[in-house]
Amino acid sequence: MDYGRELSFIFNNPTRIVFGEKTVSETGVELDGLGVSRALLVTDRGVAEAGLAGQVQKALGRRCAGIFEGCLQDSGLQVVNEGAEYAREVGAEALVSVGGGSAIDTAKGIAVLLKEGGRLQDYAGYQLLSRPQTPHIAIPTTAGTGSEVTYAAVIKDWEKNIKILFCDNHIIPNVAILDPLLTKGLPPQLTASTGMDALTHAVEAVYSTEREPLADALALHAIRQITRYLPRCVEQGDDLVARGQQQLAATMAGIAFSNTQVALVHAMAHSVGALYGVPHGLANSILLPHVIMHNAASCPDRCLLIAQAMSLAVREIGEEEVGSVLASTIWELTDRMGMPQRLREVSVPREGLAAAAAACLSDGAIIYNPKPINTAEEALEIFHKAW
Ligand SMILES: [Fe+2]
């Protein structure tokens, strides 16, 4: 392990984690524990129509101040503003988000507006908040983003067509309720793509320039569990053991990267997501093997740890080949799950790659990549390989 006496870090994980089947029924009790009595339920129409928000509403009973169903796949500033307005109207003192990363991120934005007022974009960036925000219980219905435990929120500015990144310890949800029953109905393709987002978080946490041993423990176990259980979730959606382990892995990967940051895969995925609408998990899944091959020579020891967590026979893998071995393993995994493996398959135009490469240079995640990326040409070369 490559740690010396210079190692120094702060590990932060303030979220109370409640795990298990039917734990959604504890939502009201958890809200009481936060010392508040009226919460706005923040969700999207699909989750509401699937009856999942209804279960939470039932658990909240009279504590439910209202339901905001306006979240979209890439929630924007407008949606956050509307949600905050509605929260004020109904006198909500807390938020309970139910949905994928987008619903949880929307609630993080609403939490800030309720406490601080003003314009959300003024808090974009890194650690700009100075006090705890509106209490928030996050209940994920996907198992990937880790947003239920992370300090990050991605909110789209639809006018400028960019994704705004908020990184702040004060937007980490207070409670995460992980009920495997809520992810049971997630369709195979969404299960696969959100699951690959979690794998990307874990891999990037292991080799981030901010890596540290506590995050390592979580990220490496997440890699182990995702490799083992994600295909089972995709092939057998009602396998609740697999669903539960995948959900925990996504949360572990979330805690890990909330402390170590993510790196180049995310910087590149954010740019093709904002420019060409590629869903986050799919973009990560396609880019991950290529970026690993690009990075491997700078961090072969870290790549071997990742290989070991994927149950590969590391004694037989040399440092010079570990990058391509990991890439092949990931391609096998995504192939087994029927996922696209090229950017051209997800509507990214070849002539649009240069713009994506230029955009990713200004993404904050890029600075944590183990191999520094200094020019758009370097990113473009990887984009071309992934195209
Ligand atoms: Fe992600």
Which stretches of the chain score pLDDT less than 50?
A: none
Ligand 1 centroid – CA 271 distance (Å):
12
- CA 90 – ligand 1 centroid, Å: 32
How remote is the CA of residue 32 from the centroid of ligand 1, in Å? 31
Q: What is the pLDDT of residue 147?
A: 97
Expressed in angstroms, the distance from the first to the final Cα of the chain is 35
Length of the chain: 387
Q: What is the whole-number distance in angstroms between the Cα of residue 163 and the centre of ligand 1?
A: 13
Closest C-alpha among 201, 190, 95 to residue 139: 95
- Ligand 1 centroid, distance to 89 Cα (angstroms): 33
Q: What is the pLDDT of residue 116?
A: 96
Distance (angstroms) between ligand 1 centre and the Cα of 65 equals 31
Q: What is the pLDDT of residues 284-299, one digit of tens each?
A: 999 999 999 999 999 9
DSSP assignment of 198-260 equals HHHHHHHHHHSTT--HHHHHHHHHHHHHHHHHHHHHHH-TT-HHHHHHHHHHHHHHHHHHHHH
CA 198 – ligand 1 centroid, Å: 7
Pick from 329, 336, 332: nearest CA to 234: 336
Ligand 1: centre distance to CA 201 (Å): 6
| Domain architecture of the chain: domains with CATH | 16-182 (3.40.50.1970), 188-386 (1.20.1090.10)
| Assessment of whether the complete model's pTM goes beyond 0.75 | yes
pLDDT digits (tens, 9 = 90+) for 149-184: 999 999 988 888 878 889 999 999 999 999 999 999
Looking at residue 1, its pLDDT comes to: 54
Which residues have C-beta within 8 Å of that of residue 233, sequence separation ≥ 6?
143, 183, 191, 195, 239, 242, 243, 246
CA of 280 to the centre of ligand 1 (A): 7
For residue 326, the CA-to-ligand 1 centroid distance in Å is: 19
Taking only the tens place, the pLDDT of each residue in 69-113 is 999 877 899 999 999 999 999 999 999 999 999 999 999 999 999
| CA of residue 273 to ligand 1 center, whole Å | 11
